[in-house]
Amino acid sequence: MRQDKMKYFSWFVAILMVAALLSGCAKSSNEPLEESPTTTSSDSAEGSEGKLDTSKKVELVWYLLGDANKDQKEVMAELNKMLEKDLNTTVKLNFTTWTDWQTKYNLLLASGEKIDMIFASTWSDYYKFANQGAFLPLGDLLPTYAPETWKNVPKQDWDEATVKGNILAVPATYPEYTPDGLVYREDWRNELGLPEIKDLDSIEAYLDGVKKAKNVTPINGKAYNEVFTLFKAYNDYQQIGGDSGVIAASSYDNPRDIIAYPFTPEFEAWVKRMKTWADKGFWNSDTLSSQVEAGDAIKVGTGAVYWRNAPGAGGYIVDMEKNNPEIKLGYFPFTRFHNYVMPNLSVNNAMAIPKNAANPERSLMVLDKLRNDPKYYDLLSYGIEGKHYSIAEDGKYIVTPPANLKDTKNFVPYGIASWGFRLESMERVKQASGWSGFDALLQEFKSESKPNIFAPVLLDYAPVKSQQAAVNAVIQQYGLPLMMGLVPDVDKAIETYRKQLEAAGVNDVLAYVKEQAYAYYDEKGMK
């Protein structure tokens, strides 16, 4: 461009034009900056010595979900002492409370209230609000005002926080793996000489062996989660954008092959097998109306199998070790069917800056402190050392109540919903409630982790709202009994189910999901 201009203008005019052009060019919001961005609020990019200018004192307004701790004022007083010294800043930390939190959260973003930072999440409609323009683009600000965070957050996480080409939140750097699986009586498996659980056939052999030898109903109570999650994992069906009814990608490796699975041979083979399981008594005939948790039956010796995701399994196993130590449990994650796992989206927990924020730069500076300075992280995550916790002898984990606390009877631990700024490297609490087997399982998951390419697809179903409602009603009336083998004639029930789904408009829903998914895949360059 410069050479073309110089053909027609003097060198002096050309230089002026180039300088003007460079000063006016907008950089991509996702590219690291080589120089500080222009700011319009409280902070200029750099002071006279190359440091960020914090000469103006700022009070930030932040919002987290949930409830404040009883000692919140004391904790915030300590935090603000540190922030005032380091960044000439204080934070007024507000909470939505858990009562009707969703309505309050929506109002906060819709009202235009001056908020400098707010918790954001897929489960609090991050993608919906991002598409509506509720959040400030951060790509130009992050390298300057949160440089450590900018460097340390993985590219995949930044990609998941990106909507329409803009990074709109800072995701927590805390990979969470919550794949489905089965908790089962490992002591019974050993006692009865049953095969190690490693595939669908060995699961069936276990259920059959326990049923015959122990005369119990293996999945005693509500069994639909056990069967449905097993079905999806075994066939590698991936539901898109959360729960999309009977619509799924046929496998992880074929995200564009989107199907209505009740019309597949795999579904037909599955429900016929489940009919044999139901007839063998692997669950009760009233399982769809039962309010009994299968896990409760294990505790009293009348059940053997319980559906749990991996962290849920850890909590359940630890509770059993404490209260029913004579029962020994095992866990089979369904990831082992295809040897990969998708973590939850990083923006399941994140921090975003609303578009009307008065001090976005200073908020990013504070967030950078919280995420990278142990003093800040420990204080806002665990409270005041000596009062709310002490450091264990290994120097890594925390101990609650504090080791030297005399009045433990009235001890109240500190805790808030601080998920938005969690970092795995900074955490001092053992995962899965201390289940000894979780560390090995976590390493297994990390070694086979693949990006979650399905959850970010935004689906509001408004264009097919009536069809979706009708399809869901058909699933409840015809699909659930078929999935659980609770029909007298499987072939006839399959035919009826398919006809009812078509009459309800399943093909319209399928077309809509394809349209939305393909648009997302095209945006991300996915084949």
**Strand 329-333 and strand 398-399: pairing?**
unpaired
Q: Are 359 and 116 in contact (CB under 8 A)?
A: yes
Q: Are 308 and 517 in contact (CB under 8 A)?
A: no
Helix axes 438-447, 310-323, angle to 10 degrees: 170
- Containing H/E element for 259? strand 258-260
- Identify the residue whose tokens are 């399959």: 494
**Strand 390-391 and strand 166-167: pairing?**
unpaired
Rg of the chain (C-alpha set): 27
What whole-number distance in Å separates Cα of residue 125 and Cα of residue 104? 13
At 287, which amino acid appears? T
Phi, psi angles (nearest 5°) of residue 91: -125, 130
One DSSP character per residue, 205-226 reads HHHHHHHHHH-S-SS-S--HHH
Q: Tell me how far apart the 2 most distant CA atoms of the chain are, in Å.
A: 96
Residue 324's closest CA among 302, 308, 309?
A: 302
Q: pTM for the full model?
A: 0.80
The architecture (CATH level 2) of 180-331 comes to 3-Layer(aba) Sandwich (3.40)
**Two structure tokens written together for 515:** 């349209």
- Paired residues of 167 in beta bridges: 162
- Paired residues of 294 in beta bridges: none
Q: What is the pLDDT along the chain (527 residues), one digit of tens a residue?
A: 333 333 333 333 333 333 333 333 333 333 333 333 333 444 555 543 457 999 999 999 999 999 999 999 999 999 999 999 999 999 999 999 999 999 999 999 998 889 999 999 999 999 999 999 999 999 999 999 999 999 999 999 999 999 989 999 999 999 899 999 999 999 999 999 999 999 999 999 999 999 999 999 999 999 999 999 999 999 999 999 877 799 999 999 999 999 999 999 999 999 999 999 999 999 999 999 999 999 999 999 999 999 999 999 999 999 999 999 999 999 999 999 999 999 999 999 999 999 999 999 999 999 999 999 999 999 999 999 999 999 988 888 888 889 888 888 889 899 999 999 999 999 998 655 568 888 899 999 999 999 999 988 878 888 999 999 999 999 999 999 999 999 999 999 999 999 999 999 999 999 999 999 999 999 888 88
One DSSP character per residue, 87-113 reads HSEEEEEEE-BSTTHHHHHHHHHHHT-
The top-level CATH class assigned to 59-176+341-427 is alpha beta
One DSSP character per residue, 36-60 reads PPP--SS--S--TTSS----S-EEE
Half-sphere exposure of 523 (CA within 13 A, CB side): 17
Q: Are 223 and 483 in contact (CB under 8 A)?
A: no
